[in-house]
Chain A
């Protein structure tokens, strides 16, 4: 990219090719429109569709996990016979196969669902539209990033069918279990494919992140200052920086793990290496990764709450600085995953301090979201319901994190189901609820039609209910002493009494899985049968709502000029209750300068 400085696409679409309503762009044929598309919107949608596919796979793996925990040793109904022999024999899940299930569930959900959905999907789709640009800075790199993601997904999934089966050392792949095939049922090929898959996935993330940063820094429309950026763009900007600094560390670690596995190096071996080195490298990536997955959701939710409360976001700058603080602090808290790993005890105490401090910006964000709905005029649409629930679920996930941040309490709850509950409140109740909110909200922009509200609300209430029934009792299981990653809790006397809770959780999880089909049905049905949306169905203020739905190639008819911040709702002295960013304030409008 030595010539990159000259390849920046100027924001406006060329004047010689004026784009008309509903986007007349030159016909490019099927291949260049849907497969190797350079249009950021198509790439965003590719990410979206692909992550839905992986969401189904990851969800199915979760159902397998839950079935085994409720009914250990019983034959998996319906699909039992189809399971690969490394996972199950005669439909009965093997202990080693169970380890594959949770390893791959987490790997798929983190790297192939949440990141691509939030960052790849919404990042690609929304950034240029929201900053008033015609496309991303590097469209080809963007397409490459998507295809690398697809390849990484296929590599990771293929490992189920290789000799020995898929990786089974947990998504955290602690060495030397992961780095020495003999210790782990000879899953050498599976674990190696896991390393290769993550490496390729990392390339995809780094390429995408570079693109986002360049685009946001260089291609904002006139008047779009940094502090007039919508919070979703801010969140993706900070996320991109986190990716750029964190992902290369994981890639390096995965490469080292690969050579340990295949070429006899001993980076992570007990003799001649250091098992804890893997954990330090992994969590140096892994903790920023947590914020990589939640920040975009926070940004998207911050975008949705003002629209349906008809109020400016409360404390815009505080929101931005809170995210910046999370970005920095996110790099100095990784050791809180390792309090009881054998890491130096004083170091653990220090990480406990930084961990408590990083909770502060999250608290600030929560209070500002509450401030946003305060004295609003709230309509409860499906995207709003998901966004509102996001805030509550994030509060639960954040508060349960305080237990583990306290070093002595971590001595008790570490690696129990308490942690499993915590991560799912943050990653499902947080990231995925945020993603659902965003899908319902931007669907009309993406496809020109509204999603069905009745089905949407059914999806919301079912998901909200079953989500809590699934994950809340896991706190109790964890306090009861149930370890995570055990194939059969009933072998322990003290866990046998808790088995009814496990059965309950499993059925709730099945309910949650089924609720997802309401969503998928709605998504597909509305493509053809949804109400036509028009440009701005939600009466929103940001730039993407000023163009046709779906926007044409090049996005904007003329370069938009931005006059004020992104959340001017219910401005006193105005007739309509929203003021788009590219409209000058009318005479008499009392805009607050902040």
Chain B
């Protein structure tokens, strides 16, 4: 007879939980399995061009060097009567094969950093702001309500009752609604505020070509992207964060603007009902607060 221990119980609990979890089917990959999945953001498209360029460059270098190398190995294999050539090197060659890679690498780094700067430029004014709070092992997302203003956050106040770390008394936060799936309209920039309630997690969506760590105690406010096609994806944590790391995911739906507005309206209505039930409806705030500082140079190590 098998003894049921607590870890065993927990393990089977997780198995059963997984089995009954309602799945929003994400995009199934059936073509081109040996390359990246089809890109879904504007920035990702640019990253793909750079990635492809580096691929062709490195592939060419690899094929060329290996072809020469193998040719040498065959041609200069030991043959009777043929002595090896006595040479200690050639300074002209050294200079050539130092200069050429240096030029290529410097060119590459200039292109790379230009795109890096572009991807992290100031988000457009009409970007939709979403607060992303990661925790062991899941994601809480917060959208602004009818006032289009995200409530202010204090990262030191996360608790079971205040899972978004909202600042008490901040009017803007009252009508913010939460979600466990990331629903975003296509062709509109999305600006994320990344938070963590416990350890370092990371926001990773391969189709978005996007990875950014969320560091506890900080707000990462420089991530924005623009989805360019509709579809269902999966948000994954890609920074080891504990035993449940492998399954720390959330559904992503990129939908048409109409569908998004419908979804949002439903969420807002539900929130209003909830607020009414709490008998705590208050007027919307006037202060146009961004929930977090935008200055990229602050709060960095």
| B289 on interface, CB distance cutoff 8 Å | no
Of residues 20 to 62 in B, which have CB atoms within 8 Å of A's CB atoms? Answer: 23, 25-30, 33-37, 44, 46-47, 50-51, 54-55, 57-58, 61-62
Residue among B66, B78, B115 making CB contact with A408, cutoff 8 Å: B115
CB pair B36–A481 under 8 Å, yes or no, is yes
Q: Kindly list the 4 A-B residue pairs having the minimum CB-CB distance in the complex, ordered from nearest.
A: A481-B206, A270-B217, A96-B243, A270-B216
Residue among A275, A343, A353 making CB contact with B217, cutoff 8 Å: A275
CB pair B84–A377 under 8 Å, yes or no, is yes
| A535 on interface, CB distance cutoff 8 Å | no
| A465 on interface, CB distance cutoff 8 Å | no
Of residues 223 to 265 in B, which have CB atoms within 8 Å of A's CB atoms? Answer: 233-234, 236, 238-247, 249
| Stretch among A230-238, A363-371, A518-526, A547-555 lining the B interface | A363-371
| A310 on interface, CB distance cutoff 8 Å | yes
**B188 contacts across to A, CB distance below 8 A:** none
| A274 on interface, CB distance cutoff 8 Å | yes
CB pair A501–B84 under 8 Å, yes or no, is no
CA distance A457 to B37 in the complex (A): 40
Residue among B34, B244, B249, B297 making CB contact with A95, cutoff 8 Å: B244
CB pair A353–B109 under 8 Å, yes or no, is yes
CB pair A311–B84 under 8 Å, yes or no, is yes
| A341 on interface, CB distance cutoff 8 Å | yes
| Stretch among B93-101, B123-131, B140-148, B176-184 lining the A interface | B93-101
Of residues 126 to 176 in A, which have CB atoms within 8 Å of B's CB atoms? Answer: 168-170, 174-176
| A301 on interface, CB distance cutoff 8 Å | no
CA distance A11 to B157 in the complex (A): 67
Residue among B28, B36, B241 making CB contact with A177, cutoff 8 Å: B241
CB pair A170–B215 under 8 Å, yes or no, is no
CA distance A498 to B72 in the complex (A): 38
With A274-B301, A275-B200, A342-B220 known as contacts, the answer to whether A379 contacts B47 (CB < 8 A) is no
11 A-B pairs with CB atoms under 8 Å apart are A275-B216, A314-B90, A344-B301, A378-B77, A380-B77, A391-B69, A392-B66, A399-B61, A405-B112, A569-B86, A592-B88
CA distance A151 to B204 in the complex (A): 40
Query: Which partner residue on chain B sits nearest A593 by CB separation?
Result: B88
CB pair B78–A378 under 8 Å, yes or no, is yes
| B85 on interface, CB distance cutoff 8 Å | yes
| A594 on interface, CB distance cutoff 8 Å | yes
| B167 on interface, CB distance cutoff 8 Å | no
| B285 on interface, CB distance cutoff 8 Å | no
Most buried by A among B238, B247, B296: B238
Having A310-B78, A315-B89, A488-B247, one finds 19 other A-B pairs with CB under 8 Å, namely A85-B7, A94-B7, A96-B242, A271-B217, A275-B216, A340-B213, A356-B105, A357-B102, A364-B98, A392-B69, A399-B61, A402-B105, A406-B111, A411-B211, A412-B209, A491-B247, A494-B27, A494-B206, A570-B84
CB pair A402–B108 under 8 Å, yes or no, is yes
| B286 on interface, CB distance cutoff 8 Å | no
Query: Which partner residue on chain B sits nearest A369 by CB separation?
Result: B69
| B82 on interface, CB distance cutoff 8 Å | yes
CB pair B198–A183 under 8 Å, yes or no, is yes
CB pair A276–B199 under 8 Å, yes or no, is no
Query: Which partner residue on chain B sits nearest A368 by CB separation?
Result: B89
CA distance A114 to B130 in the complex (A): 46
CA distance A376 to B46 in the complex (A): 46
With A99-B245, A399-B61, A399-B62 known as contacts, the answer to whether A378 contacts B37 (CB < 8 A) is no
With A392-B69, A399-B61 known as contacts, the answer to whether A314 contacts B210 (CB < 8 A) is no
**A-B CB pair tally, cutoff 8 Å:** 346
Query: Which partner residue on chain B sits nearest A498 by CB separation?
Result: B33
| A9 on interface, CB distance cutoff 8 Å | no
With A275-B216, A498-B33 known as contacts, the answer to whether A408 contacts B112 (CB < 8 A) is yes
With A360-B98, A391-B69, A577-B83 known as contacts, the answer to whether A407 contacts B116 (CB < 8 A) is yes
| B169 on interface, CB distance cutoff 8 Å | no
CB pair A492–B211 under 8 Å, yes or no, is no
| B300 on interface, CB distance cutoff 8 Å | yes
**B89 contacts across to A, CB distance below 8 A:** 312-318, 368, 371, 594
CB pair B213–A594 under 8 Å, yes or no, is no
Residue among A270, A480, A487 making CB contact with B36, cutoff 8 Å: A480
Tell me how far the C-beta of A581 lies from the nearest C-beta in chain B, rounded to whole angstroms: 15
CB pair B35–A414 under 8 Å, yes or no, is no
CB pair B109–A414 under 8 Å, yes or no, is no
Tell me how far the C-beta of B53 lies from the nearest C-beta in chain A, rounded to whole angstroms: 9
| B76 on interface, CB distance cutoff 8 Å | yes
CA distance A295 to B246 in the complex (A): 35
**A479 contacts across to B, CB distance below 8 A:** 34-36
Residue among A185, A345, A367, A577 making CB contact with B243, cutoff 8 Å: A185
**A364 contacts across to B, CB distance below 8 A:** 94, 97-98, 101
CA distance A374 to B85 in the complex (A): 8
CA distance A177 to B135 in the complex (A): 12
CA distance A318 to B97 in the complex (A): 11
CA distance A81 to B179 in the complex (A): 42
CA distance A497 to B33 in the complex (A): 8
Residue among A344, A360, A592 making CB contact with B86, cutoff 8 Å: A592
CA distance A577 to B81 in the complex (A): 12
| B117 on interface, CB distance cutoff 8 Å | yes
Sort chain A's interface into a size bin.
35 or more
CB pair B217–A377 under 8 Å, yes or no, is no
Tell me how far the C-beta of B228 lies from the nearest C-beta in chain A, rounded to whole angstroms: 16
Most buried by B among A342, A395, A487: A342
CB pair A408–B199 under 8 Å, yes or no, is no
With A99-B245, A340-B212, A373-B72 known as contacts, the answer to whether A408 contacts B50 (CB < 8 A) is yes
CA distance A260 to B214 in the complex (A): 21
Of residues 476 to 533 in A, which have CB atoms within 8 Å of B's CB atoms? Answer: 476, 479-481, 483-489, 491-494, 496-498, 501
With A99-B245, A275-B200, A360-B105 known as contacts, the answer to whether A414 contacts B29 (CB < 8 A) is no
| B65 on interface, CB distance cutoff 8 Å | yes
| A89 on interface, CB distance cutoff 8 Å | yes
| A71 on interface, CB distance cutoff 8 Å | no
With A360-B101, A378-B78, A493-B28 known as contacts, the answer to whether A486 contacts B245 (CB < 8 A) is yes
Most buried by B among A416, A486, A569: A486
| A184 on interface, CB distance cutoff 8 Å | yes
**B106 contacts across to A, CB distance below 8 A:** 353, 356-357
CB pair B113–A176 under 8 Å, yes or no, is no
Tell me how far the C-beta of A407 lies from the nearest C-beta in chain B, rounded to whole angstroms: 4
| B163 on interface, CB distance cutoff 8 Å | no
CB pair B117–A501 under 8 Å, yes or no, is no
| A403 on interface, CB distance cutoff 8 Å | yes
| A228 on interface, CB distance cutoff 8 Å | no
CB pair A373–B76 under 8 Å, yes or no, is yes
Residue among B18, B200, B218 making CB contact with A176, cutoff 8 Å: B200
Q: C-beta contact mask, A333-353 vs B, less than 8 Å → 1, else 0?
A: 000000011111111110011
CB pair B238–A414 under 8 Å, yes or no, is yes
CA distance A574 to B148 in the complex (A): 87
| A396 on interface, CB distance cutoff 8 Å | yes
Tell me how far the C-beta of B14 lies from the nearest C-beta in chain A, rounded to whole angstroms: 8
Of residues 168 to 201 in B, which have CB atoms within 8 Å of A's CB atoms? Answer: 196, 198-200
Query: Which partner residue on chain B sits nearest A398 by CB separation?
Result: B58
**A280 contacts across to B, CB distance below 8 A:** 301
Tell me how far the C-beta of B107 lies from the nearest C-beta in chain A, rounded to whole angstroms: 9
With A275-B215, A501-B33 known as contacts, the answer to whether A168 contacts B243 (CB < 8 A) is yes
**A99 contacts across to B, CB distance below 8 A:** 240, 242-243, 245
Query: Which partner residue on chain B sits nearest A95 by CB separation?
Result: B243
With A94-B11, A377-B84 known as contacts, the answer to whether A498 contacts B97 (CB < 8 A) is no
Query: Which partner residue on chain B sits nearest A482 by CB separation?
Result: B206
Tell me how far the C-beta of A320 lies from the nearest C-beta in chain B, rounded to whole angstroms: 12
Query: Which partner residue on chain A sits nearest B34 by CB separation?
Result: A476
CB pair A411–B301 under 8 Å, yes or no, is no
Q: C-beta contact mask, B282-298 vs A, less than 8 Å → 1, else 0?
A: 00000000000000110
CA distance A345 to B51 in the complex (A): 20
| B279 on interface, CB distance cutoff 8 Å | no
